[in-house]
Amino acid sequence: MTTPSPSPEILAFGEAMTLFVAEAAGELAEVERFQRRIAGADTNVAIGLARLGFGVGWLSRVGDDGFGRYIRHTLEAEGLDCRHLTGDPDASTGLIFKERAQGGADPHVEYFRRGSAASRLSPEDARAVNFGAARHLHATGIPPALSASCRELSWHMLERARQAGASISFDPNLRPSLWASEAEMRDTLNAMAGHADWVLPGLAEGRRLTGLDTPHDIAGFYLDRGARAVIIKLGPEGSYYRGTLDGHEESFEIPGVAVSNVVDTVGAGDGFAVGAISALLDGRSPREALRRGNLIGALAVQVPGDMEGLPSRERLTELEA
């Protein structure tokens, strides 16, 4: 009789998609060959944390199809606990096709995810989750954009994790095209951010969600709503922190890591999140967390895939030394 593995210490949820990256530059209409990978902001962070040695559980749905099986095998090979990954016989796995951009430009992507298995997620999918064993929950603004039932799941995960005393990180990860209106996106994500300990918007995202301009004011918006700290991604310029520690508020900016050859900017923000969250979970200071976030974000833009640049714990230790 096998002993069941312990419940994961970190929980993540959302949609993993099968990704096809063009092998050559040019418009998708002209591309003949693609490389298969997986994609999804939520999975990028989950994989990054698993590579650093954390026990990460992944909650989602995939189709009962070859692409869904490919995602499951890939995530399990990365060390994720997939006990809460369901195969859905009545819906397909989401697909994404990505051009190969040149000169560090943002690549054009096309999604085939409407009605996907993951869009059918609901609180029922979390019925067997052991929140009492969870140390941390990472959430993004993508699941609540996928469907009404996914939005219910997002609220369920945030509220159950908070009740259990787990820390929570929230990355807005804006996908405006998936929302019915700008106002619904703004109001929903700002409310969810208020349930998190660490809020991680990009500067442009923060401006769009709050209507405020400076990192200081954007951070204040979320601190006023209940966040403990706000970490704002400034792209190549680095990152900004404002938060309260031991009753004292501090704010500062950490410059970015110079990159001579930018291959693909997709996944940079997820790499940053891996760095910042892992450092805070390691008990590092906020300054160290931003330095690590900048470092892993810089690694992510030097490879063609979304998560191929995310380091192992051994590699990270070498780089930080």
Contact, 82 vs 71, CB < 8 A?
A: no
Contact, 265 vs 104, CB < 8 A?
A: yes
Contact, 32 vs 134, CB < 8 A?
A: no
Catalytic site includes residue 270: yes
Q: CB within 8 A of 272, min separation 6: which ones?
A: 200, 233, 239, 293, 294, 296, 297, 300
What is the distance between the alpha carbons of residues 116 and 136, in angstroms, rounded to a whole number? 27
* Token couple for 111: 């999604």
DSSP string, 278-318: HHHHTT--HHHHHHHHHHHHHHHTTSSSSSTTPPPHHHHHH
Q: By three-state DSSP, how is residue 317 classified? A: helix
Q: Catalytic one among 187, 270, 282, 306?
A: 270
Catalytic residues: 270
